[in-house]
Amino acid sequence: MQELEYYEEEEEEEEEPWPMMVRYEVIEYILRRYGALQAKDIAKILGCKVRDVNAVLKHLERSGRIRREKLGRNFVWCPSEESHLGVIYY
């Protein structure tokens, strides 16, 4: 009896795992939709830990997609000015 060889499909390696990319897009959407928010507010909306949200926010800030502004004693996160130059849907 001849054995069939088993080939595993190799997944293409991506820069970021897709669940993390979804987080980036969801948080960026929330900021575009609702304006400036604190990290604790975003965490409450998503049901996540504040430190997880902060990590995503800092990554988005480094990539230039959002910015952090000082408001009183706290910081708020808001979309960068360049965000509106993206895709336009008609």
The bridge status of strand 66-71 relative to strand 74-79 is antiparallel
Instruction: Report residue 33 as tokens.
Output: 């939709």
Q: Is the pLDDT at 69 greater than 70, yes or no? A: yes
Q: How confident is the model at residue 61 (pLDDT cuts 50, 70, 90)?
A: very high
Structure tokens at 70: 């000082």
Query: Which regions of 23-73 does DSSP assign to beta strands (E)?
Result: 66-71
pLDDT digits (tens, 9 = 90+) for 26-43: 999 999 999 999 999 999
How confident is residue 83, by pLDDT bands cut at 50, 70 and 90? Answer: very low
CATH topology of domain 18-80: Arc Repressor Mutant, subunit A (1.10.10)
Q: Is the pTM of this model over 0.75?
A: no
Helix (H, G, I), strand (E, B) or coil at 6: coil
Average pLDDT over the chain, rounded to an integer:
81
Is the confidence at residue 20, as pLDDT, over 80?
Answer: no
